């Protein structure tokens, strides 16, 4: 008897997981038809090869390649039976290559549903059917792209929704509607993860441990069980703007139909923390030191890296410039104990005299009292602006659906409105501050600065690390000493020599401040959204004021 092999294929995993039978419907139907064909050819089926959930766009399929290798190695097969020629390939190039490989192994391709043989008419029909399969594949891809693009424009979710959401199916008027809903189990935990990370008090590793303890796990699937989120998946979650109601497709942004899980202002704060952590280079290593991420080389500007070396006398800790390893810096290795001593001494220059701290406290309290009515007016203006933005978004969306504006203009206008909404929302949040709490924080900050030198000396490594992060953007080192220090906010302004002068703004200065709202209206309300401050953003007005500079930019620590 003749010998045959059967090749079976389905394009998607859903086709293979449709019925109670793990092979679904299509594979058993193909197998049965191929076996009937082998009986008609008076051939016995000696083997079968199945590609489950594999596209025929390329020939790089496990079962197909295994079949071709078996044919070439043993050369004992007469027929390769398929249900249709498009099971082998959906483009002419792959079809020619696969058929030639089968023929070189001494076998012949047989189609159950098509009259394919080695006669001239059979070869012609094979070529025609192969071309039809390629046309079908390309046309189907174009139709899918068109439908997917339209779905994205309408705000639909194109794939499996991220953690915190569930893909659900609803029957409405007899039609199945696929939509996305909040996951009652995971959505609150996702929101907690954003809120915790926005504080800036946690690393990704610490946040992952906290969320694992609270029960945040990935959704299980057919191939994977639920498990805690690692650092990479947690970071991807925090970066995903799907949570603020956005759908992305082909590098374009569309307003989604799903319910936003995270407020835009909270999402922006999280992105700021992520960017800050990335720029500061703070990563958890095997060897830790509380000065890591704070010390920089004064010669080349590179970050100093912590190194622990083991010798005959034990282990020795050093800080070394990253540029020294690449040959771009000549600074020597720095002994850790000497830098620890220098930084501790430098904190004496950060202290404020008690009298000056008291005066700063009084001036800021007076300024807060005078700014309260202005803040209320700005909140009202920002809320009106949000209403205007919502109205513009609705008009823009209607024009977009009616194809009255181009994709480029739609994206530009959508980006502009998103930025305006972010600014207005942040203005409301800033100016809605409980000034009692804010002034309490000011008192704590000033009290800390009054005796920061003593507090730093008594603190342990963990607290020292937090103090260094709070007080300094960077400390520049040259020859085991501090060459310069760049203070962080709010201490850069609190310790500025001219802070009190900046806070004591005259009425004439107020009259020169920027006017908020629509320029066509004759109102002279200071735009507090542009205001910078020493503790809270809306604390010091910017009109005609240069940014305060640190009094410690080039001050060396006392010897």
Q: To the nearest whole number, what is the mean pLDDT of the chain?
A: 76
Q: How many Cα atoms occupy the beta-carbon half-sphere of 269 within 13 Å?
A: 18
- Between CA 540 and CA 169 the distance in angstroms is 53
Per-residue pLDDT, 48: 92
Q: Is the pLDDT of residue 279 over 60?
A: no
Burial 271-285 (b: 16+ CB within 10 A, else e): eebeeebeeeeeeee
What pLDDT is recorded for position 188?
92
Q: Which residue has the higher pLDDT, 34 or 54?
A: 34
Return the minimum-mean-pLDDT range out of 122-131, 185-194, 410-419, 538-547. 538-547
Position 229 scores a pLDDT of 86
- Among 123-127, 278-282, 365-369, 451-455, which range has the highest average pLDDT? 451-455
Q: Is the pLDDT confidence value at 158 over 90?
A: no
Average pLDDT of the residues in 487-512? 63
Give 48 or 400, the one with higher predicted confidence. Answer: 48
522 vs 281: which has the higher pLDDT: 281
pLDDT at 6 over 90: yes
* Residue 68 confidence (pLDDT): 93
Least confident of 32-46, 282-296, 394-408: 282-296
- Average pLDDT for 80-102: 85
pLDDT at residue 42, rounded to an integer: 92
Is 223's pLDDT higher than 80? no
Q: Is the pLDDT of residue 538 over 60?
A: no
**Angle value at C-alpha 20, between 15 and 24, nearest 5 degrees:** 25
Q: Which residue has the higher pLDDT, 441 or 44?
A: 44
Lowest mean pLDDT of 178-192, 247-261, 540-554, name the range: 540-554
The Cα–Cα gap between 220 and 222 comes to 7
Instruction: Indicate if the pLDDT at residue 515 is higher than 70.
Output: no
Mean pLDDT, rounded, for 303-315 = 75
Nearest to 184 by CA among 248, 246, 259: 259
Quote the percentage of the chain above a pLDDT of 90: 13
Return phi, psi of residue 269, to 5°. -65, -40
Average the pLDDT over each of 158-172, 269-283, 450-464 and give the range with the smallest value. 269-283
- How far apart, in whole angstroms, are the C-alpha atoms of residue 7 and residue 30? 9
Is there a cis peptide before residue 391, judged by omega within 30 degrees of 0?
no
With 60 as the cut, is the pLDDT of residue 261 above it?
yes
**Do 2-147 and 165-280 fold alike per CATH?**
no
| Residue 133, pLDDT score | 63
- Model confidence at 18, in pLDDT bands (50, 70, 90)? very low
Looking at residue 172, what is its pLDDT? Answer: 66
Angle between helices 62-74 and 92-104 (to 10 degrees): 30
pLDDT at 273: 84
pLDDT band at 3 (very low <50, low <70, confident <90, very high): very high
- What pLDDT is attached to residue 484? 87
Q: What is the CATH number of domain 165-280?
A: 3.90.1750.20
Task: Domain ranges for the chain, please list them.
Answer: 2-147, 165-280, 286-359+434-559
Instruction: Give the C-alpha separation, 188 to 200, whole Å.
Output: 20
Q: Tens digits of per-residue pLDDT, 366-418?
A: 777 777 777 788 888 999 999 999 998 888 888 877 778 888 888 888 889 98
Given a contact cutoff of 8 angstroms between Cβ atoms, the answer to whether 442 and 361 are in contact is yes
Q: Is the pLDDT of residue 317 over 70?
A: yes
CA 164 to chain centre: 15
CATH architecture of residue range(s) 2-147: 3-Layer(aba) Sandwich (3.40)
């Amino acid at each position: 008897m003749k010998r045959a092999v059967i090749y079976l294929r389905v394009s998607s995993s859903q086709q293979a997981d449709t019925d109670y039978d793990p092979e679904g419907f299509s594979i058993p139907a193909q197998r049965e038809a191929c076996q009937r064909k082998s009986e008609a050819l008076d051939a016995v089926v000696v083997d079968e090869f199945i590609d489950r959930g594999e596209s025929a766009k390329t020939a790089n399929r496990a079962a197909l390649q295994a079949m071709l290798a078996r044919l070439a190695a043993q050369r004992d097969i007469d027929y390769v039976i398929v249900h249709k020629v498009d099971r082998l390939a959906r483009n002419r190039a792959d079809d020619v290559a696969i058929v030639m490989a089968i023929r070189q192994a001494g076998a012949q391709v047989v189609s159950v549903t098509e009259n394919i043989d080695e006669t001239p008419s059979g070869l012609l029909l094979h070529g025609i059917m192969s071309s039809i399969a390629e046309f079908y594949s390309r046309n189907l891809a174009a139709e899918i792209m068109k439908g997917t693009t339209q779905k994205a424009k309408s705000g639909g979710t194109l794939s499996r929704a991220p953690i915190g959401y569930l893909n659900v199916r609803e029957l409405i008027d007899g039609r199945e509607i696929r939509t996305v809903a909040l996951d009652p189990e995971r959505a609150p935990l996702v929101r907690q993860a954003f809120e915790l990370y926005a504080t800036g008090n946690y690393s990704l590793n610490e946040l992952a441990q906290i969320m694992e303890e609270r029960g945040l796990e990935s959704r299980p699937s057919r191939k994977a069980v639920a498990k805690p989120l690692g650092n990479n998946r947690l970071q991807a979650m925090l970066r995903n703007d799907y949570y603020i109601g956005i759908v992305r497709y082909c590098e374009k942004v569309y307003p989604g139909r799903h319910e936003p899980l995270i407020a835009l202002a909270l999402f922006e704060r999280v992105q700021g923390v992520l960017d800050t952590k990335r720029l500061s280079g703070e990563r958890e290593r095997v060897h830790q030191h509380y000065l890591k991420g704070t010390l920089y080389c004064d010669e080349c500007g590179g970050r100093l890296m912590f190194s622990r070396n083991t010798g005959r006398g034990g282990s020795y800790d050093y800080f070394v410039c990253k540029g020294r390893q690449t040959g771009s810096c000549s600074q020597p290795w720095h002994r850790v104990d000497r830098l620890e001593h220098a930084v501790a001494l430098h904190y004496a220059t950060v202290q404020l005299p008690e009298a000056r701290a008291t005066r700063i406290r009084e001036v800021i309290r007076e300024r807060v009292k005078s700014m309260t009515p202005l803040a209320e007016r700005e909140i009202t203006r920002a809320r009106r602006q949000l209403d205007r933005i919502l109205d513009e978004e609705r008009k823009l969306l209607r024009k977009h659906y009616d194809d009255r504006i181009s994709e480029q203009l739609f994206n530009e206008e959508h980006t502009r409105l998103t930025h305006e909404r972010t600014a207005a929302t942040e203005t409301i949040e800033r100016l809605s501050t409980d000034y009692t709490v804010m002034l309490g924080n000011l008192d704590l900050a000033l009290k800390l600065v009054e005796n920061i030198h003593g507090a730093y000396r008594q603190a342990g490594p963990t607290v020292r690390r937090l103090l260094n992060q709070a007080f300094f953007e960077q400390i520049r080192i040259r020859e085991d000493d501090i060459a310069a220090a760049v203070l962080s906010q709010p201490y850069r302004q609190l310790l500025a020599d001219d802070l009190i002068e900046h806070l004591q703004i005259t009425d004439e200065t107020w009259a020169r401040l920027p006017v908020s709202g629509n320029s066509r209206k004759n109102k002279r309300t200071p735009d507090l959204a542009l205001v910078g401050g020493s503790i809270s953003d809306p604390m010091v007005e910017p009109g005609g004021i240069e940014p305060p500079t640190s009094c410690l930019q080039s001050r060396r620590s006392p010897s």
